[in-house]
Amino acid sequence: MQSQAHARARGKGLQELKKITLLSAQTAFSEPGELDLFTDSSRLAYLDALMLEQGYQDGEQMAAACQMPRSHDSIWSRLVREYLLGKHTQLTDLMAWSADTTRLPYRLHLETLTHLYLHNDPAEGRYCVHGKLVHLGVPNAPMFVVGTERDHVSPWRSVYKVHLLTDTEIAFVLTSGGHNAGIIPELGHAHRFRFRIRHKGEHYMSPAEWFNAPPVQQDSWWPCWQRWLADHSSGNVDPPPVGAGAILGDAPGTYVLE
């Protein structure tokens, strides 16, 4: 997405990206974690046939694929607690958000699995957008990259590989939690959340070396992100007046009904 936006900006003469934030986002897929177990030629052929008939990947099917790598935490422990012990977990905002699944368009899902997970094309210099080869090191914009310690969707050591694909300034954060909870650790829970942050040095450090380099800080990483954004911004701007933009339609939008 970063490179596609940059390609469009250059093609239209627009201002280039000034800074980039990546949240649990892999740029290299040679070690994508346990999801790699579900990504091979035969499984993609099955998905191709299924989605060609449906036109999309159903949200419940997508959610099940993300739950399987952590079936003990995401499936069986919940069934034991609720079905066998009769202890119903109180719904939280994050649980409600996770239950609101979204189906993925056929072409988007298939090309993502094929070009990224199966062939690792962006990291190996084979990925094209609008007929132009993508270079992940362009634009040379500073990056704020976040990985989470228990991420089963985007393992943090795989997220860390962005250091090998660009020479730009990188502030890398490793936070506790998983793929979702690690990204939204609200303030004021120092006993629940911790994080490490280190800016890219003069020489490359392996993930193991990096893990032991920065001190552990308690609480949310959000204030560090806010300071980083402020340091890389040109200043404050007044918000647009309410109702100034074009109204496309009533909430929640027509796409949810299609």
Ranges of each domain in the chain: 1-30+120-233, 32-119
Q: What is the pLDDT of residues 12-70, one digit of tens each?
A: 444 577 899 999 999 999 888 877 777 888 888 988 998 888 888 888 877 777 766 66
From residue 123, alpha-carbon distances to 45, 100, 113, 116, 128 in Å are 23, 32, 14, 9, 12
d(CA 90, CA 70): 21
d(CA 70, CA 109): 21
The pLDDT value recorded for residue 73 is 64
Where do we find the tokens 């897929």?
A: 29
The pLDDT value recorded for residue 208 is 92
pTM of this structure: 0.77
The pLDDT value recorded for residue 9 is 44
The pLDDT value recorded for residue 26 is 92
- Convert 209-223 to b/e letters by CB count within 10 Å (16 or more is b): ebbeeeeebebbbbe
Distance of CA 29 to the CA centre of its chain: 13
Strands 128-129 and 56-57 come out as unpaired
Report the half-sphere exposure of 163 (CA within 13 A, side-chain side). 23
d(CA 111, CA 109): 6
Per-residue pLDDT 10s for the chain (258 aa) are 444 444 444 444 445 778 999 999 999 998 888 777 778 888 889 889 988 888 888 888 777 777 666 656 666 677 777 777 777 777 777 777 777 788 888 898 899 999 999 999 999 989 998 888 888 876 688 999 999 998 888 999 999 999 999 888 999 999 998 888 889 887 777 667 889 999 887 788 999 999 998 899 998 999 999 999 999 988 888 887 877 777 777 887 777 776
